[in-house]
Amino acid sequence: MAAAAPPSLSFPRPVFAKLSPHPYLLRTLAPQVSPDTPTPKPSRTNGRAPHEARPVYIHTSSLSHAHGSALVRVGDTTVICGVRGEILPVTSIPQYRPRADFGEDDDEETRRAGRGELKDYDLLVPNIELATGCAPQFLPGVPPSTLAQTISTRVYSLLHSCAVVDAKNLRIWASPVVTKPTGCDDDADKMEEDDEEEEEKPELVAYWVLYVDILVVSFDGNPFDAAWMAVLAALRDTKLPVVTWDSDRGVAFCSRNAEKRKLQIKGLPVACTAAVFLEKEHGSETSGEENNRHWILLDPDRSEETLCGETITMVVDCEGGETRLRSLEKQGGTVIGRELIRGFAGVAEKRWREVKGAMSK
Protein backbone atom coordinates (compact mmCIF):
# COMPACT_ATOMS: atom_id res chain seq x y z
CA MET A 1 0.00 0.00 0.00
CA ALA A 2 1.15 3.44 -0.74
CA ALA A 3 1.82 5.74 2.14
CA ALA A 4 -1.28 7.43 3.42
CA ALA A 5 -1.84 10.90 2.17
CA PRO A 6 -0.56 13.52 4.58
CA PRO A 7 -3.32 14.58 6.96
CA SER A 8 -4.99 17.64 5.64
CA LEU A 9 -6.35 20.33 7.87
CA SER A 10 -8.76 21.74 5.35
CA PHE A 11 -12.22 20.35 4.97
CA PRO A 12 -14.43 20.35 1.97
CA ARG A 13 -17.41 22.65 2.29
CA PRO A 14 -20.05 20.09 3.34
CA VAL A 15 -17.85 18.83 6.18
CA PHE A 16 -17.25 22.33 7.42
CA ALA A 17 -20.97 23.06 7.27
CA LYS A 18 -21.73 19.95 9.26
CA LEU A 19 -19.00 20.39 11.85
CA SER A 20 -19.46 24.03 12.66
CA PRO A 21 -22.60 25.40 11.05
CA HIS A 22 -22.47 28.77 12.75
CA PRO A 23 -19.03 29.89 11.51
CA TYR A 24 -19.86 28.43 8.12
CA LEU A 25 -22.98 30.52 7.71
CA LEU A 26 -21.18 33.52 9.13
CA ARG A 27 -18.38 33.14 6.61
CA THR A 28 -20.73 32.98 3.66
CA LEU A 29 -22.70 35.97 4.90
CA ALA A 30 -19.62 38.02 5.63
CA PRO A 31 -17.09 36.82 3.07
CA GLN A 32 -13.54 37.85 3.67
CA VAL A 33 -12.16 40.20 1.14
CA SER A 34 -8.97 39.00 -0.43
CA PRO A 35 -7.02 40.84 -3.10
CA ASP A 36 -6.97 38.10 -5.73
CA THR A 37 -10.71 37.39 -5.83
CA PRO A 38 -13.39 39.89 -6.59
CA THR A 39 -15.47 40.78 -3.54
CA PRO A 40 -18.08 38.06 -3.38
CA LYS A 41 -21.65 38.92 -2.63
CA PRO A 42 -22.85 37.99 0.84
CA SER A 43 -25.11 35.03 0.51
CA ARG A 44 -26.53 32.30 2.69
CA THR A 45 -25.33 28.73 2.65
CA ASN A 46 -28.28 27.84 0.46
CA GLY A 47 -27.18 30.40 -2.11
CA ARG A 48 -29.93 32.87 -1.44
CA ALA A 49 -29.43 36.51 -0.59
CA PRO A 50 -30.47 37.42 2.97
CA HIS A 51 -33.74 38.96 1.84
CA GLU A 52 -34.52 36.36 -0.76
CA ALA A 53 -37.35 33.95 -0.13
CA ARG A 54 -37.75 30.59 -1.79
CA PRO A 55 -40.07 30.36 -4.75
CA VAL A 56 -43.56 29.03 -4.08
CA TYR A 57 -45.37 26.34 -6.02
CA ILE A 58 -49.01 25.70 -5.34
CA HIS A 59 -51.09 22.90 -6.75
CA THR A 60 -54.73 22.70 -5.82
CA SER A 61 -57.41 20.00 -5.93
CA SER A 62 -54.93 17.16 -5.74
CA LEU A 63 -56.92 15.22 -3.13
CA SER A 64 -60.05 13.85 -4.71
CA HIS A 65 -61.85 12.96 -1.48
CA ALA A 66 -61.47 16.32 0.20
CA HIS A 67 -63.74 19.24 -0.54
CA GLY A 68 -60.70 21.35 -1.11
CA SER A 69 -57.01 20.72 -1.05
CA ALA A 70 -53.70 22.27 -1.86
CA LEU A 71 -50.12 21.20 -2.06
CA VAL A 72 -47.63 23.93 -1.34
CA ARG A 73 -43.93 23.73 -1.97
CA VAL A 74 -41.60 26.36 -0.64
CA GLY A 75 -38.13 25.14 -1.45
CA ASP A 76 -37.83 21.80 0.28
CA THR A 77 -40.68 22.44 2.65
CA THR A 78 -43.73 20.69 1.33
CA VAL A 79 -47.10 20.96 2.99
CA ILE A 80 -50.35 19.40 1.93
CA CYS A 81 -53.63 20.64 3.27
CA GLY A 82 -57.06 19.11 2.89
CA VAL A 83 -60.36 20.73 3.83
CA ARG A 84 -63.31 18.51 4.49
CA GLY A 85 -66.74 19.77 5.42
CA GLU A 86 -69.05 17.89 7.72
CA ILE A 87 -72.59 18.80 8.56
CA LEU A 88 -73.25 19.68 12.17
CA PRO A 89 -76.97 19.86 12.96
CA VAL A 90 -77.73 22.55 15.49
CA THR A 91 -79.51 19.95 17.61
CA SER A 92 -76.20 18.36 18.39
CA ILE A 93 -74.55 21.58 19.50
CA PRO A 94 -74.67 21.44 23.27
CA GLN A 95 -74.81 25.14 23.96
CA TYR A 96 -76.67 26.23 20.88
CA ARG A 97 -78.46 29.54 21.17
CA PRO A 98 -80.54 30.43 18.13
CA ARG A 99 -80.01 33.97 17.10
CA ALA A 100 -82.92 36.20 16.37
CA ASP A 101 -81.62 38.01 13.34
CA PHE A 102 -78.92 37.36 10.90
CA GLY A 103 -78.09 40.68 9.37
CA GLU A 104 -77.70 40.42 5.68
CA ASP A 105 -75.48 43.41 5.27
CA ASP A 106 -71.81 43.18 5.45
CA ASP A 107 -71.59 45.58 8.32
CA GLU A 108 -69.18 45.42 11.18
CA GLU A 109 -71.65 44.07 13.72
CA THR A 110 -72.72 41.11 11.62
CA ARG A 111 -69.20 40.14 10.80
CA ARG A 112 -68.28 40.21 14.45
CA ALA A 113 -71.28 38.08 15.36
CA GLY A 114 -70.33 35.65 12.64
CA ARG A 115 -66.90 35.40 14.10
CA GLY A 116 -68.54 34.54 17.40
CA GLU A 117 -70.42 31.71 15.73
CA LEU A 118 -67.26 30.31 14.20
CA LYS A 119 -65.59 30.35 17.57
CA ASP A 120 -68.46 29.20 19.75
CA TYR A 121 -69.40 26.22 17.67
CA ASP A 122 -65.85 25.44 16.59
CA LEU A 123 -66.69 25.48 12.90
CA LEU A 124 -63.06 25.58 11.81
CA VAL A 125 -60.91 22.75 13.09
CA PRO A 126 -57.30 22.91 11.98
CA ASN A 127 -54.91 20.14 12.80
CA ILE A 128 -51.31 19.81 11.80
CA GLU A 129 -49.13 16.81 11.61
CA LEU A 130 -45.42 16.87 11.12
CA ALA A 131 -45.01 13.55 9.44
CA THR A 132 -42.43 11.10 10.61
CA GLY A 133 -39.52 11.30 8.29
CA CYS A 134 -40.18 14.81 7.04
CA ALA A 135 -37.08 15.82 8.96
CA PRO A 136 -34.69 13.84 11.16
CA GLN A 137 -35.94 15.35 14.42
CA PHE A 138 -39.44 13.94 14.09
CA LEU A 139 -39.59 10.46 15.50
CA PRO A 140 -42.42 8.01 15.09
CA GLY A 141 -44.82 7.26 17.88
CA VAL A 142 -44.31 10.35 19.98
CA PRO A 143 -47.04 12.79 21.01
CA PRO A 144 -47.37 15.92 18.88
CA SER A 145 -44.29 18.05 19.33
CA THR A 146 -44.36 21.54 20.76
CA LEU A 147 -43.77 22.82 17.25
CA ALA A 148 -46.85 21.06 15.90
CA GLN A 149 -48.99 22.30 18.78
CA THR A 150 -47.70 25.82 18.37
CA ILE A 151 -48.36 25.90 14.65
CA SER A 152 -51.83 24.51 15.09
CA THR A 153 -52.62 27.19 17.68
CA ARG A 154 -51.28 29.90 15.41
CA VAL A 155 -53.22 28.64 12.40
CA TYR A 156 -56.36 28.39 14.49
CA SER A 157 -56.13 31.88 15.88
CA LEU A 158 -55.18 33.36 12.53
CA LEU A 159 -58.17 31.68 10.86
CA HIS A 160 -60.40 33.37 13.39
CA SER A 161 -58.74 36.74 13.63
CA CYS A 162 -58.50 37.14 9.86
CA ALA A 163 -62.05 35.89 9.36
CA VAL A 164 -61.16 34.51 5.95
CA VAL A 165 -64.22 32.29 6.13
CA ASP A 166 -67.47 34.06 6.83
CA ALA A 167 -69.92 32.20 9.06
CA LYS A 168 -72.74 32.91 6.65
CA ASN A 169 -71.16 30.59 4.10
CA LEU A 170 -71.32 27.75 6.58
CA ARG A 171 -74.95 28.11 7.63
CA ILE A 172 -77.44 25.59 6.33
CA TRP A 173 -81.04 26.77 6.15
CA ALA A 174 -84.26 24.83 6.13
CA SER A 175 -86.71 27.25 4.63
CA PRO A 176 -86.65 30.21 2.31
CA VAL A 177 -84.22 32.93 2.73
CA VAL A 178 -85.42 35.80 0.70
CA THR A 179 -82.75 38.31 1.22
CA LYS A 180 -79.77 36.06 1.53
CA PRO A 181 -77.47 36.90 -1.32
CA THR A 182 -75.35 33.78 -1.28
CA GLY A 183 -75.53 30.31 0.13
CA CYS A 184 -78.10 27.63 -0.46
CA ASP A 185 -80.79 29.58 -2.23
CA ASP A 186 -81.61 26.83 -4.65
CA ASP A 187 -82.70 24.21 -2.21
CA ALA A 188 -84.37 26.90 -0.21
CA ASP A 189 -86.49 27.67 -3.24
CA LYS A 190 -87.54 24.10 -3.50
CA MET A 191 -88.55 24.06 0.10
CA GLU A 192 -90.56 27.16 -0.46
CA GLU A 193 -92.72 25.37 -2.96
CA ASP A 194 -93.37 22.59 -0.51
CA ASP A 195 -94.79 24.59 2.31
CA GLU A 196 -95.75 27.87 0.88
CA GLU A 197 -98.89 28.25 2.99
CA GLU A 198 -97.03 28.57 6.20
CA GLU A 199 -95.04 31.75 5.99
CA GLU A 200 -92.28 30.15 7.96
CA LYS A 201 -89.30 32.12 9.00
CA PRO A 202 -86.08 30.70 7.66
CA GLU A 203 -84.66 28.34 10.14
CA LEU A 204 -81.04 27.60 10.67
CA VAL A 205 -80.76 23.86 10.96
CA ALA A 206 -77.13 23.01 10.61
CA TYR A 207 -73.63 24.28 10.07
CA TRP A 208 -70.80 23.12 7.96
CA VAL A 209 -67.78 22.28 10.05
CA LEU A 210 -64.55 22.56 8.12
CA TYR A 211 -61.84 20.17 9.15
CA VAL A 212 -58.57 21.63 7.94
CA ASP A 213 -55.89 18.98 8.07
CA ILE A 214 -52.33 19.99 7.38
CA LEU A 215 -49.62 17.48 6.76
CA VAL A 216 -46.01 18.53 6.49
CA VAL A 217 -44.59 16.11 3.97
CA SER A 218 -41.11 17.50 3.95
CA PHE A 219 -39.76 19.92 6.49
CA ASP A 220 -37.00 22.33 5.63
CA GLY A 221 -37.70 25.28 7.87
CA ASN A 222 -40.36 27.93 8.04
CA PRO A 223 -43.28 25.55 8.50
CA PHE A 224 -45.79 28.20 9.48
CA ASP A 225 -45.62 30.24 6.30
CA ALA A 226 -46.03 27.15 4.17
CA ALA A 227 -48.78 25.70 6.37
CA TRP A 228 -50.77 28.92 6.30
CA MET A 229 -50.32 29.23 2.55
CA ALA A 230 -51.61 25.67 2.17
CA VAL A 231 -54.60 26.38 4.39
CA LEU A 232 -55.48 29.47 2.42
CA ALA A 233 -55.05 27.79 -0.95
CA ALA A 234 -57.09 24.80 0.18
CA LEU A 235 -59.89 26.99 1.49
CA ARG A 236 -59.94 28.95 -1.77
CA ASP A 237 -60.21 25.64 -3.54
CA THR A 238 -63.02 24.36 -1.31
CA LYS A 239 -66.34 23.59 -2.94
CA LEU A 240 -69.14 22.52 -0.63
CA PRO A 241 -72.08 20.55 -2.05
CA VAL A 242 -75.53 22.03 -1.79
CA VAL A 243 -77.40 20.53 1.13
CA THR A 244 -81.00 19.48 1.13
CA TRP A 245 -82.81 19.47 4.42
CA ASP A 246 -85.40 16.80 4.98
CA SER A 247 -87.68 18.40 7.51
CA ASP A 248 -89.68 15.19 8.06
CA ARG A 249 -86.74 13.16 9.13
CA GLY A 250 -84.79 16.11 10.36
CA VAL A 251 -81.66 15.23 8.51
CA ALA A 252 -79.56 17.07 6.05
CA PHE A 253 -78.26 15.25 3.05
CA CYS A 254 -76.47 16.05 -0.11
CA SER A 255 -76.53 13.73 -3.05
CA ARG A 256 -73.42 12.61 -4.84
CA ASN A 257 -74.24 14.68 -7.86
CA ALA A 258 -75.31 17.71 -5.94
CA GLU A 259 -74.23 21.01 -7.25
CA LYS A 260 -71.14 22.33 -5.56
CA ARG A 261 -70.55 25.86 -4.52
CA LYS A 262 -67.28 27.53 -4.07
CA LEU A 263 -66.55 28.68 -0.56
CA GLN A 264 -66.11 32.42 -0.45
CA ILE A 265 -62.85 33.52 1.02
CA LYS A 266 -62.29 37.04 2.15
CA GLY A 267 -58.90 38.59 1.65
CA LEU A 268 -55.54 37.02 1.06
CA PRO A 269 -53.46 37.20 4.21
CA VAL A 270 -49.94 35.95 3.61
CA ALA A 271 -47.46 35.08 6.33
CA CYS A 272 -43.86 36.13 6.01
CA THR A 273 -41.25 34.87 8.44
CA ALA A 274 -37.65 35.86 8.99
CA ALA A 275 -35.04 34.84 11.50
CA VAL A 276 -32.19 36.84 12.97
CA PHE A 277 -28.70 35.43 12.73
CA LEU A 278 -26.21 36.86 15.19
CA GLU A 279 -22.51 37.04 14.65
CA LYS A 280 -21.54 35.89 18.11
CA GLU A 281 -22.29 32.32 18.92
CA HIS A 282 -21.43 31.02 22.35
CA GLY A 283 -18.81 33.62 23.07
CA SER A 284 -18.80 36.14 25.85
CA GLU A 285 -20.72 39.30 25.59
CA THR A 286 -19.11 42.53 24.72
CA SER A 287 -20.65 45.91 24.92
CA GLY A 288 -18.63 47.18 22.00
CA GLU A 289 -19.72 47.32 18.42
CA GLU A 290 -17.53 44.50 17.18
CA ASN A 291 -18.93 41.02 16.89
CA ASN A 292 -22.41 42.38 17.13
CA ARG A 293 -23.46 42.22 13.53
CA HIS A 294 -26.67 40.52 12.60
CA TRP A 295 -28.44 39.45 9.46
CA ILE A 296 -32.13 39.08 8.89
CA LEU A 297 -32.70 35.92 6.91
CA LEU A 298 -36.01 35.80 5.13
CA ASP A 299 -37.75 32.44 4.87
CA PRO A 300 -35.12 30.51 6.86
CA ASP A 301 -34.45 26.88 6.07
CA ARG A 302 -33.99 24.17 8.67
CA SER A 303 -30.27 24.58 9.19
CA GLU A 304 -30.67 28.34 9.53
CA GLU A 305 -33.53 27.98 12.00
CA THR A 306 -31.34 25.99 14.36
CA LEU A 307 -28.78 28.81 14.37
CA CYS A 308 -31.20 31.66 14.88
CA GLY A 309 -32.98 32.58 18.07
CA GLU A 310 -35.10 35.55 17.21
CA THR A 311 -37.90 35.25 14.69
CA ILE A 312 -40.49 37.55 13.27
CA THR A 313 -43.66 36.58 11.46
CA MET A 314 -45.82 39.18 9.85
CA VAL A 315 -49.10 38.39 8.18
CA VAL A 316 -50.07 41.02 5.66
CA ASP A 317 -52.99 41.47 3.31
CA CYS A 318 -52.69 43.94 0.47
CA GLU A 319 -55.87 42.82 -1.25
CA GLY A 320 -57.70 46.06 -0.62
CA GLY A 321 -54.86 48.15 -2.04
CA GLU A 322 -53.72 49.29 1.38
CA THR A 323 -51.37 47.07 3.31
CA ARG A 324 -53.13 45.71 6.35
CA LEU A 325 -51.32 43.75 9.00
CA ARG A 326 -53.27 40.80 10.30
CA SER A 327 -50.80 39.42 12.75
CA LEU A 328 -47.34 40.15 14.02
CA GLU A 329 -45.24 37.84 16.10
CA LYS A 330 -41.76 38.68 17.20
CA GLN A 331 -40.00 36.81 19.91
CA GLY A 332 -36.75 35.41 21.14
CA GLY A 333 -34.47 38.41 20.95
CA THR A 334 -34.02 42.13 21.04
CA VAL A 335 -32.49 42.84 17.64
CA ILE A 336 -35.72 43.56 15.82
CA GLY A 337 -36.96 46.88 17.08
CA ARG A 338 -39.39 49.41 15.81
CA GLU A 339 -37.46 50.50 12.75
CA LEU A 340 -36.81 46.97 11.57
CA ILE A 341 -40.46 46.05 11.97
CA ARG A 342 -41.47 49.07 9.92
CA GLY A 343 -39.02 48.07 7.25
CA PHE A 344 -40.11 44.47 7.40
CA ALA A 345 -43.61 45.47 6.34
CA GLY A 346 -42.15 46.31 2.94
CA VAL A 347 -40.46 42.92 2.73
CA ALA A 348 -43.73 41.24 3.65
CA GLU A 349 -45.55 43.20 0.94
CA LYS A 350 -43.10 41.93 -1.63
CA ARG A 351 -43.63 38.40 -0.42
CA TRP A 352 -47.37 38.93 -0.60
CA ARG A 353 -47.13 39.76 -4.29
CA GLU A 354 -45.02 36.67 -4.93
CA VAL A 355 -47.49 34.44 -3.14
CA LYS A 356 -50.45 36.05 -4.82
CA GLY A 357 -48.83 35.33 -8.14
CA ALA A 358 -48.35 31.69 -7.19
CA MET A 359 -51.93 31.43 -5.93
CA SER A 360 -53.55 32.77 -9.05
CA LYS A 361 -51.54 30.56 -11.34
What does the binding site for another protein look like in residue numbers (CB under 8 A)?
95, 97, 108, 112, 116, 119-120, 122, 126, 146, 149-150, 152-154, 156-158, 160-162, 282, 284-288, 309-310, 322-334, 336-338, 341-342, 345
Phi-psi region of 189 (alpha: psi -120 to 50; beta: other; left: phi over 0): alpha
Query: Rounded to the nearest whole angstrom, what is the least distance from the CB of residue 178 to another protein in the complex?
Result: 28
Query: Rounded to the nearest whole angstrom, what is the least distance from the CB of residue 199 to another protein in the complex?
Result: 29
Nearer residue to another protein within complex by CB, 257 or 287: 287
CA distance 284 to 117: 53
CA distance 129 to 148: 6
- List residues bridging with 56 in a β-sheet: 74
Query: Rounded to the nearest whole angstrom, what is the least distance from the CB of residue 350 to another protein in the complex?
Result: 15
Query: Rounded to the nearest whole angstrom, what is the least distance from the CB of residue 161 to another protein in the complex?
Result: 4
CA distance 43 to 33: 14
Query: Rounded to the nearest whole angstrom, what is the least distance from the CB of residue 95 to another protein in the complex?
Result: 6
Query: Rounded to the nearest whole angstrom, what is the least distance from the CB of residue 31 to another protein in the complex?
Result: 26
Query: Rounded to the nearest whole angstrom, what is the least distance from the CB of residue 286 to another protein in the complex?
Result: 5
Nearer residue to another protein within complex by CB, 247 or 327: 327
CA distance 346 to 336: 15
Task: Give the residue from 223, 322, 228 showing the smallest Cα distance to 345.
Answer: 322
Nearer residue to another protein within complex by CB, 217 or 335: 335
CA distance 31 to 25: 10
Nearer residue to another protein within complex by CB, 103 or 333: 333
Nearer residue to another protein within complex by CB, 153 or 179: 153
Nearer residue to another protein within complex by CB, 249 or 342: 342
Nearer residue to another protein within complex by CB, 91 or 287: 287
